[in-house]
Structures are given as C-alpha cells and as structure tokens.
A and B are shown apart, each in its own frame.
Chain A
Amino acid sequence: MRAPASRRPEPAENLSAAEQKAEKARGRIGVGLIVPGFVFLLLFFAAPVFVLLAMSLYAKPPGAETGVFVPAFEVSNYVVALSEYWVPLLRSFLFAGIATVLALIIGYTMAYLVAVRLRQHKLLAAILLVILIAPFFSSFVLRTQAWKQILSDEGFVVEALRFVAILPEDGRLTATSIAVVAGLTYNFLPFMTLPIYASLERLDTRLLEAAGDLFASPMTAFRKVTLPLSMPGVFAGTLLTFIPASGDYINATILGNNRDTAMIGQVIDSRFFKIVDYPMAAALSTVLMVVILILVMAYIRKFGTKELF
C-alpha cells in the first residue's frame, strides 16, 4: 500500500496494518448497511415516481379502448389538470392548512399537559399518553364512520346544538366542510401530538426555574424557553399532519358532500378508477406532489431548524 496522502489526518499514519484493515472493514460494513435502504428507495420510491411522471405525459390515441394509452409527451395533460381542477386542489391545501393549525393548538396543549405539567405524576401521565396513542390502534376509516353516526342529523349532538341554537333548526354537522376539516384534525392529531410530546419530554424544567429566577413571568418563560426548545417537535408535527392531510380523500368522502368539500385526493381516485384516465390521475398526483414540495421547502427555509437534519 502506498504512503497515505498528505490530507489524511495525522493519527492515521500511525495506524498499524491490522487497524487499517479494521477501518476498511468498517467502511465496507457502512456501505453494506446503506445498500438495502438505497435499493429500497430506488425500487419503491424512485421507480414509481418515474413511472408516475412518464404516465402523466401519456396520450390516448383516437378511438382507443378504455384504459389504453400510448407513451407521448402530452404536456396538455397538465394544462387540463390545473385549469379544471384548481378548485379542489386549492381547497385541499386550505382544509389541510386549517386542520394543521387546529391540530397544533390541540396537540400542543395535550402534549404540554402530559410531558411538562404532569411530569411528576408518572402514572397519570402514562395513562394519558396511552389515551393519546390509542386511536392508532383501530382503523381510521371505522373511526370516521363512527363520527358520522354520532353527528347524524337525528343524533343527540345535533339535537342538543339545535336546542341551544348554535345550529339553526335545519342545520346539520355531517356532509359539511366543517365536518371534513374536523375529521382531518381528529384523524391526524396523533401525528401532531407525538413529535411535540417527544421534544417536550426532553425539556429540562430547571431552565424554567432559572427563567423564573431571572424574573420572567410564566408566560415569558414559555415563550422564550419552552416554545423554542419544542420547535423541532412542532416542525415535524406540522409536516406530518399537513402533507398527508392535503392528499387525504377518506375524510372528504365520508364526511363531505358533493358541493363544497371535494378534495384533490377524491378527484385523483375518480380519474383513476371511474373514468380510467390514468394520465390525468398521474398529472394531478404530480401537481399535488410538486405543490407540497414547494410549500414544504418554503416552510423549511422560513422556520426550519438545524436540529432536524
């Protein structure tokens, strides 16, 4: 073996042959550990995305059978996708945005309660944590269906709300955009709460005492100490909520109506299965993906924390 290059760090020169061999082996193991993940990503992420992009440019030859498309460079698919479906697209991001903010308010409060306020009461905190995670254990489609029954026009919730005149006499809860946003908030709440909980749980409460010693009011201490230290959790939680919520179609299908709640996921589903227009479904998916990517990039640049990466 040749003499080590000058850039090589000092101690390396003193390595024995055995140590050098061990280091090389470690390097090989490192590469070996990366390969499975890389292959997985290539097979199950890169390849499908490539196929999706290619499919979004396919064209339907005149007079072709249902479901038959040929490779082409049909950019007009995107023009149609944007010009015809911008309303559900915009609505998806609006609904997902509102749901994210609501989930942040509710989720932060819950996580703060369990992780900071009840830190001394181990048992109570553990029970509450289980309650937080419990919704994960059952199918979210079933839970959403259950809400439909609870909030039905003839159910006690709607009757009570009508009685206290919060809802008008012919008002309803299901099949409204409020129901869809509420469903999104409810279903993605654990994704918001758990990351925040994880970062609040590590919060050193002595810092809060120190803030108090320096005459900070509890509110100021929260704003200047707790909140900044929990930002990685908030950041992860908002992304984990916003991204899947904008592509979600289950909530809108079950809790929405056919007037003012259609989300882009529903449109993609019907383009793919009902109309069998695979290129349009692919183009819409691509648009959704790109817009999410742009929004997330902007978000990371504005609020991103180094701790995440």
Chain B
Amino acid sequence: MAPQPFNRRRKPTDPRLNRLIAAQVSRRRLLGGAGGLGLAGLLAACGTGGTGTGGASSAAALTPAADVSADEAVVNWANWTLYLDYDDETKKYPSLEAFMEKSGLTVNYSEDVDGNDSYYGKVQAQLSRGQDIGQDIVTLTDYMAARLIRQGYTQELDRSNIPNAENLLPNLQDVDFDPGRKHSLTWQSGFAGIAWNKEKVPGGLKTVSDLWKPELKGRVEVLDEMRDTMGLLMLEQGVDIAGDWGADEFGNAADLLEQQIDSGQIRQVKGNSYKEDLVSEDALAVIGWSGDITQLNFEEGDKWEFAIPEAGGTLWSDNMLVPIGATHKSNAEQLMNHYYDPEVAATVAAYVNYICPVEGAREAMEGIDPSLVDNPLIFPTEDFLSNVSIFRTLDSGEENEYSSMFSGAIGV
C-alpha cells in the first residue's frame, strides 16, 4: 500500500480505526499461533480453508474489508499480460493514464495473473481468511470467478457507482454464476475454436473432427483449459454445453480425447504456449483462442486462420472482481465505470483484439480504427454469437470430478 501524502491526511475516520483494530487482532492471532499453539498455528498456516469445524463452506464467516477509498486515492489491479492498451513509446497505458488524470486516483496496474488455477493457488489461503491480497480488482475467467463468488471471496459491487455498467452487452448481463452481475463485470470475452496453418493445411478445417485427419497426425494440439477443449469436443458430439449434461456426455468426449492422444494424433496438450508451436510449425492445427490467432497473424504475418467449428465454439469471459479483503472498493468501482465508457472500451479493444463487452464501443471504434469495426472476433454479429455457447458452471463436486477425468485423459 502506497504511503499516504501527509498533507492529504484528514482526521482519522472510523474505517481507518477499524482497520487498525483489525490489524492488531490478526497480528496477535498470528503471534499466538506461532508461539504457543505450535502445531495448530503451523497447520493453520498451510493454507486450507478448513479449520477443523468440518463445515462444508467457510464462506459464511467472511466479511468484506472496510473501504478506505476516501482516505487512500489508490486502486490496485491485477490483470493478465497484454490485456490493456499499451504505448510502446511512452511505456504507459493511455486509457489508464486518462483515468488517473480524470479521477485523481493512482492505479497500481500489475500483470500478476498468469493462469486462473495458479493465481487461485497463490491467493486462496489469504482469501479464505478474508485477508487483503493487495489487489482491489482481480481479473479471472468465468469458472474461476464463479468459484470465488461461490466461496464468498468477493465483495458485492455498488452499481450506483458504476452507471456505465448499463452498457454491458445484453447477453452478458445475466450469467449463471452471478445472477444480475452483483459481484462481477466482464473485462473481455473471447472464443475458443479451431485454427490452422493456411499454407500447410490448404483445404482448411470446418469441424473438430477434421482435426483427426490422417495427414495431421502428430501435428495437432489442443488446449489444457478443460472447458474449451472439452466444450468443443462435446459440441461436436451434439451436446449442449450450456445445458444440463452429465458424466456420460463428458465421459464420451474424454474417451475421444484420450484415444486421439494415445494414437499420437494429438501431439501435445498445451496452455498459452501452443502459439510457439504454431510459429515453429510443430503444430499445424489447434484448438485455440480467437484473440491469440489475431495477434499471431499481426506479429508473424498473416499465416493462420481461425474459425468457429460448424458444431459450435465456446465463449468465455474474463471478469473483474473485488476480492473480499480489498480496501478500495469504491475506487475500484470508479475504475470499472471508466472502462465501461464506450470510447475507452473501444481503445482497449483496438489493442487487445478480444470481444469488447461494451455496448456502443463499436460506434466509437469508427473513430479509432475503422478496419476493426467489422471484425466479428471483436464485435461479433448475432449470427456469429448464435453458434457459440458458454460452458455451464460446475458445482464444486462436479468441478473436482470432471477436472480429474480430464486430467486422466490428458495424462497428467
């Protein structure tokens, strides 16, 4: 937390005092744990939510941290890499600079999130105790946002502070993991579909089954992100992934995946690094993400093509959340409001090339980069959207069961 300039400091207000008291309590508890309790203290330090009560959820006990936004003009935001408009010359984020100027707040922007699972692994222990993880906004993908909200690790947003949130696209207004969008707002969305090397796969691909052609043997890669790879496979098998499917449907797709890995058709199952294999041409066809292919084509020459398979693709979103221990919620809400301004949203979209979730950004894009206005991967048409679905949210039991099945199929 940045030290506060002395001249700005006002008389201590209640939230500050509260925070001070809270800090003392936790410090005392920590000392008690380390000193006297020994074993219990060590066990508590090892990062599980369970503390011996045997309760099914620790969520009920958590209360949001006191908001000190009025006293500290700061917002801390953790996002993914290359996910905000960046000016190489000034080494700054123009849209963020504009916000800081307008609001007088200082934004500490960090590219801390390098994976949903790994980020969760890092902060879960603190969140489960309602502690501040040092971030006022974290940006996480649907299923992880769902998990955090379900576990009570997020604060409820005050939509009266975010009037621009009205601009959220209608199809994103209501999601199953956060009815009415009380805890989350979409940052960007994207598609998972199939992509191929145009030169080496001249005929192109139309369906997921085309990936199993003999001439692509050993040159196909799929994502290690379960919901995208399994989503596409299940769609190909005629399953409505947003609907009420069960273990049988998932199992069929997992069997197919395992079979294609065992036969050597699929070379590797990869995270973000599938892009490098496309460049080295070890992989000629992949299940991948729309924005990645757009960026690759931009950086490496127009060599690849992305398509939504005929049977359908997946639509995922990354969501801005305020963690339970965050102390600058209303500042965070101001920032969210800024990015829901269509002009600002269009600036970001022109850089990141993912689907912009803000209504009106398309019109604003006319003035920024007219060539992107008709790009369906940034401003998808109704037609385009009708062929993609969102993988339904899993409860914790299913999450465990299916991720174990998936990991069994991919071998690790």
Do A273 and B282 have beta carbons less than 8 Å apart? no
Do B57 and A175 have beta carbons less than 8 Å apart? no
Q: How far is the CB of B259 from chain A (nearest CB, A)?
A: 11
Do A65 and B268 have beta carbons less than 8 Å apart? no
Looking across the interface, which residue of chain B has its beta carbon closest to that of A150? B280
Q: How far is the CB of B6 from chain A (nearest CB, A)?
A: 37
8 Å CB interface, B94-145 against A: 115, 117-118, 120-121, 124, 128
Contact of A51 among B43, B58, B269, B399 (CB under 8 A): B43
Contact bitstring A126-152, B, C-beta under 8 A = 1, else 0:
000000000000000000010011001
User: Which residues on A sit within 8 Å (CB–CB) of B128?
Assistant: 67-68
Do A68 and B400 have beta carbons less than 8 Å apart? no
Do A258 and B118 have beta carbons less than 8 Å apart? no
Contact bitstring B139-155, A, C-beta under 8 A = 1, else 0:
00000000100110000
Contact bitstring B271-289, A, C-beta under 8 A = 1, else 0:
0010011001110000000
Do A152 and B281 have beta carbons less than 8 Å apart? yes
Contact bitstring A60-75, B, C-beta under 8 A = 1, else 0:
0111111111110000
Chain B residues with a Cβ closer than 8 Å to the other chain, count: 53
How far, in whole Å, are A50 and B217 apart by their CA atoms in the complex? 47
Looking across the interface, which residue of chain B has its beta carbon closest to that of A66? B396
Query: Does B375 sit within 8 A of A, measured CB to CB?
Result: no
8 Å CB interface, A120-178 against B: 145, 148-149, 152-155, 170, 172, 174-175
Looking across the interface, which residue of chain A has its beta carbon closest to that of B280? A152
How far, in whole Å, are A258 and B115 apart by their CA atoms in the complex? 20
Do B404 and A275 have beta carbons less than 8 Å apart? yes
Do B397 and A63 have beta carbons less than 8 Å apart? yes
Contact of A273 among B48, B118, B400 (CB under 8 A): B118
Do B266 and A258 have beta carbons less than 8 Å apart? yes
How far, in whole Å, are A49 and B45 apart by their CA atoms in the complex? 13
How far, in whole Å, are A153 and B46 apart by their CA atoms in the complex? 44
User: Which residues on A sit within 8 Å (CB–CB) of B273?
Assistant: 254
8 Å CB interface, A31-66 against B: 47, 50-51, 54-55, 58, 61-66
Q: List 16 A-B contacts (CB under 8 A).
A: A51-B42, A58-B50, A61-B55, A61-B56, A63-B56, A64-B56, A65-B396, A68-B128, A71-B50, A145-B276, A152-B282, A172-B282, A258-B412, A266-B412, A275-B403, A276-B121
Residues of chain B at the chain A interface (Cβ within 8 Å)? 42-43, 45-59, 115, 117-118, 120-121, 124, 128, 147, 150-151, 217-219, 261-262, 264, 266-269, 273, 276-277, 280-282, 396-397, 399-400, 403-404, 407, 410-412
User: Which 5 pairs of residues, A with B, have the shortest CB-CB distance?
Assistant: A152-B280, A70-B50, A51-B46, A273-B117, A68-B49
